[in-house]
Amino acid sequence: MVAQSVPILIDFSEDYIEPIFGQRKPALFLFRSSRDHQDAEFVKTFSQAANELRGQILFVVSGVTDGIQQRLGEFIGVEEKDLPTLRLLDPADGMKKFNYAGSVDGITVAQISGFINDFNNKNLKPFLKSEEIPAEDSNPLKIIVGKNFQSAVIESNNDVLMKFYAPWCGHCKKLAPIWEQLASDLKDVPNLVIGKFDATTNEVDGLEIRGYPTLKFYPRGSKNSPVDYNGGRELDDFKNWLKENSPAYKAYLEGKTEL
Q: What is the mean pLDDT of residues 6-33?
A: 92
pLDDT in tens, 21-68: 988 899 999 999 988 766 789 999 999 999 999 999 999 999 999 899
Contact between 226 and 218 under an 8 Å Cβ cutoff? The reply is: yes
Element (H, E) at 46: helix 41-52
**Mean pLDDT over each residue of the chain, to the nearest integer:** 92
Q: From CA 162, how far away is CA 145, in angstroms rounded?
A: 11
Contact between 107 and 86 under an 8 Å Cβ cutoff? The reply is: yes
Taking each continuous run of H as one helix and of E as one strand, the counts in the chain are 8, 10
Q: Which residues contact 184 (CB under 8 A, 6 or more apart)?
A: 140, 141
At 95, the pLDDT band (50, 70, 90 cuts) reads confident
pLDDT in tens, 133-183: 998 878 999 999 999 999 999 999 999 999 999 999 999 999 999 999 999
Q: What is the DSSP code (8-state) at residue 80? A: G
The pLDDT of residue 208: 85
DSSP letter string over 141-208? EEE--GGGHIIIIISSSSEEEEEEE-TT-HHHHHHHHHHHHHHHHTTTSTTEEEEEEETTT--BTTB-
Strands 192-198 and 159-165: parallel
Give ∠ CA 175-196-66 in degrees, rounded to 5.
85
Please provide residue 162's backbone torsions phi and psi, each rounded to the nearest 5 degrees: -110, 140
In 3D, which of 224, 173, 202 has the Cα closest to residue 75?
202
E strands, the chain, in order: 9-11, 27-31, 58-62, 85-90, 96-99, 141-143, 159-165, 192-198, 214-218, 227-228
The pLDDT of residue 256: 75
Q: From CA 31, how far away is CA 19, in angstroms rounded?
A: 19
Residue type, 164: F
Domains and CATH numbers, the chain: 9-120 (3.40.30.10), 141-258 (3.40.30.10)
- pTM for this predicted structure: 0.78
Q: What is the mean pLDDT of residues 207-223?
A: 88
Strand order from edge to edge, sheet including 85-90 = 9-11, 58-62, 27-31, 85-90, 96-99
The pLDDT of residue 255: 84
Q: Which residues contact 211 (CB under 8 A, 6 or more apart)?
A: none
